[in-house]
């Protein structure tokens, strides 16, 4: 029997509630060189004119990561506990609160040149890569005319180099990413119909992750606090 490990991993995430069944394709490149083009998210998905989507997650040991409910204005037992821990001014409490702090992942919709048959993909990245992408809007050393490099008609492609860092995490090699902005403006596609198709097919990122209820978050927190591992 042929086994598809990627399908198995995807289904395991869906069943755990960490990821929904959706059409969102995450871009996870191996070592190599790539050219990508950022595509704007739909305006309704953005906040304060920032062209990237940010999401914050709690990481409680080996449990599946949890979308922080507080970022959606919902009751958040973990945020409430953090607030109490910080308020005691106790060093041990403060250290525990730091362990509970959510970590941010930012997201960008892209088309990978040479892989256009995969249509729109989504790239998730940490704050250091995020700072690099933001600098492309503000740093004239890399973007002399401060062009909106996500513009479908006058934007700029980006080159990406992916190399092994020599580090290993959870048994997998950690990759180093280098991003550079091109020097020439170009169209998203020379075929206007294809460009519009990509723009229209930019996914809703909220279709990708399930928001846990207050009770579910509290249950996961109690498991972590007790040092237990969910079967």
DSSP assignment of 194-209, as one string? HHHHHHHT---GGGTS
Report how far residue 97's alpha carbon sits from residue 171's, in angstroms, rounded to the nearest whole number.
28
For residue 102, give every residue at least 6 positions away whose Cβ sits within 8 Å of its Cβ, in sequence order, or none.
56, 57, 58, 68, 71, 78
Report how far residue 107's alpha carbon sits from residue 146's, in angstroms, rounded to the nearest whole number.
21
Q: pLDDT tens digits for the chain (231 residues)?
A: 455 655 556 555 555 545 554 568 999 999 999 999 999 999 999 999 999 999 999 999 989 999 999 999 999 999 999 999 999 999 999 999 999 999 999 999 999 999 999 999 999 999 999 999 999 999 999 999 999 999 999 999 999 999 998 888 878 888 899 999 999 999 999 999 999 999 999 999 988 888 999 999 999 999 999 986 543
- A 10 A CB-CB count for 106 gives 19
Report how far residue 136's alpha carbon sits from residue 51's, in angstroms, rounded to the nearest whole number.
12
Q: How high is the pLDDT of residue 231?
A: 36
Question: CB–CB of 176/154 below 8 Å?
Answer: no
Look at the block and give the residue holding tokens 């970590």: 103
Packing angle of the helix pair 91-100, 77-87 (nearest 10 deg): 160
Report how far residue 10's alpha carbon sits from residue 15's, in angstroms, rounded to the nearest whole number.
9
């Amino acid at each position: 029997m042929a086994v598809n490990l990627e399908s198995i991993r995807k289904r395991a995430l869906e069943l755990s509630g960490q990821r929904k069944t959706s059409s969102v394709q995450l871009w996870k490149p191996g070592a190599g060189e790539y050219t990508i083009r950022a595509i704007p998210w739909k305006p309704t998905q953005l906040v304060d004119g920032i062209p990237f989507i940010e999401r914050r997650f709690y990481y409680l040991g080996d449990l599946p990561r949890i979308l922080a409910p507080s970022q959606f204005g919902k009751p958040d037992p973990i945020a409430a506990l953090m607030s109490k821990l910080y308020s005691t001014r106790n060093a041990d409490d403060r250290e525990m609160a730091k362990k509970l702090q959510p970590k941010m992942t930012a997201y960008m919709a892209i088309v990978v040149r040479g892989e256009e048959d995969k249509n729109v993909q989504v790239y998730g990245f940490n704050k250091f890569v995020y700072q690099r992408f933001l600098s492309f809007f503000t740093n004239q050393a890399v973007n002399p005319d401060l062009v909106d490099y996500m513009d479908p008609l006058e934007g700029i492609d980006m080159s990406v180099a992916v190399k092994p860092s020599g580090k290993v995490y959870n048994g997998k090699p950690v990759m180093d990413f280098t991003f550079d902005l091109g020097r020439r403006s170009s169209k998203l596609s020379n075929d206007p119909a294809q460009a519009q198709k990509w723009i229209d097919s930019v996914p809703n990122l909220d279709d990708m992750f399930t928001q846990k209820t207050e009770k579910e978050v509290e249950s996961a927190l109690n498991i972590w606090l007790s040092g237990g591992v969910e079967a």
